[in-house]
Amino acid sequence: MTSDLDPRGPARLVVLVSGAGTNLQALLDACQDPAYGAQVVAVGADRPGIEGLARAERAGVPTFVRRVADAEDRSTWDAEITDLVDAHEPDLVVSAGFMKLAGPAFLARFGGRYVNTHPALLPSFPGMHGAADALAHGVKVTGATLFLVDDGVDTGAIIAQRAVEVADDDDVESLHERIKKVERAMLVDVVGRMARDGWTVRDRRVTIP
C-alpha cells in the first residue's frame, strides 16, 4: 500500500481527541510552520467539554463532537463519525488520545491513513492502560508507539517507536508524563515526515522514504 497525498499543498489532518489534548497541541504548534507540510483542518471528539476541544477552538480550528450515547447504536455512531471526519477531506486522520475503537465504516474509509499513538511499546501492553500495565509488570523500559489502526486493539502496523526508561520511584502518573513527552515529539516528527514524504506498507513494514 502506498500513501496518496496531494503534492500541491499541506497535508490535511483531522485529529480525534477525548481528553487533555497535549498531543493535539504539539501538532497545532508544529503546523504553525509552513515548512512542516501539514495543517490541522478539524478536531473531533466523542465527548464535549474537554480541554482538547478548547485547544482547537483557541487555535481557530473547527471542531465536531459525536457522543456514542447520542447515537442509535454503535454502528450508527461509527457511520456518523466517519462522515463528520470525511467532511473535512483529510489526508491523514490522527487519533491523539481518542478513547474509542474505530468501527468497520471508519476503517473502510480511512484504513491505511488512520494513525494512533499508544503509551507503551506495542505489542506489549495494548489497551486502555498501557503505562499502568507496563509499570505493574515491572518492565525496565517502555515507551510510545505510533501505528496504523486496523480492526484489532492496538495491533496495526507499527510506524515508529520511542523508548522510555522506567525509574525505580515511578508511579503511573510520573511514568505516563515522561512517556507523553516522548510521544508528542515522536508524533510531531513522524506525522510531519508522513505528510511531506508519504509512506509505504509492505508485510506490516511501514517505510517513510
Instruction: Give dist(CA 124, CA 112) in Å, integer.
Output: 22
Residues 34-53 that bind ligand GRF (CB under 6 A): 52
The stretch among 16-24, 83-91, 148-156, 158-166 that binds ligand GRF (CB under 6 A) is 16-24
Find the binder of ligand GRF among 10, 44, 119, 156 (CB under 6 A).
Answer: 119
Measured between its terminal Cα atoms, the distance across the chain in Å is 14
Interaction of residue 145 with ligand GRF, rule CB under 6 A: no
Residue of minimal Cβ distance to ligand GRF: 97
The stretch among 85-93, 106-114, 117-125, 199-207 that binds ligand GRF (CB under 6 A) is 117-125
Q: What is the DSSP letter of 2?
A: B
Torsion of the alpha carbons at 102, 106, 107 and 112, rounded to the nearest 10: -100
Which H/E stretch holds residue 159? Answer: strand 158-165
118 in active site: yes
Residues binding ligand GRF: what is the number (CB under 6 A)? 15
Q: Tell me which residue has cell 482547537.
A: 56
Q: Which of 88, 118, 129, 137 is catalytic?
A: 118
Beta partners for residue 16, in sequence order? 44, 95
Instruction: Give dist(CA 38, CA 151) in Å, integer.
Output: 26
Burial classification of residue 128, based on how many CB atoms lie within 10 Å of its CB (0-12 exposed, 13-18 middle, 19 or more buried): exposed
Find the binder of ligand GRF among 66, 88, 113, 118 (CB under 6 A).
Answer: 118
The residue type of 202 is R
Q: Which is nearer to ligand GRF, 82 or 117 (CB)?
A: 117
Residues 174-203 that bind ligand GRF (CB under 6 A): 180, 183
Find the binder of ligand GRF among 11, 12, 13, 23 (CB under 6 A).
Answer: 23
Instruction: Report the interface residues with ligand GRF, using CB under 6 A.
Output: 17, 19-24, 52, 96-97, 117-119, 180, 183
Active-site residue set: 118
